[in-house]
Amino acid sequence: MLHLGLPSINLGPTLSQFLTPELLSVLVDRVDIRPTSEARADLKHMLAAA
């Protein structure tokens, strides 16, 4: 999805074991990949990006 240029990627509900807190922080900051949280907050973020 990154190669296709799709922004605001959400991962979850369970993150892969290789995603350490440090790596997740880099992904959130640099390429806007974020873990899912509460449904309302996720939906609000997704609709804001549309």
Chain segment 31-44, per-residue pLDDT in tens = 888 899 999 998 99
pTM of the entire structure?
A: 0.64
Q: Are 10 and 34 contacting, i.e. CB atoms less than 8 angstroms apart?
A: yes
Residue type, 25: S
Half-sphere exposure in the Cβ direction for 25 (13 Å, CA): 3
Structure tokens at 30: 């640099």
Residue 19 CA to residue 41 CA, distance in Å, equals 22
Could you tell me where the DSSP H helices lie in the chain?
21-31, 39-49
44 contact partners, CB below 8 Å, separation of at least 6 = none
Specify the pLDDT at position 46: 84
pLDDT digits (tens, 9 = 90+) for 1-50: 778 887 788 888 888 889 899 999 998 898 888 899 999 998 998 888 76
What was the pLDDT predicted at 50? 66
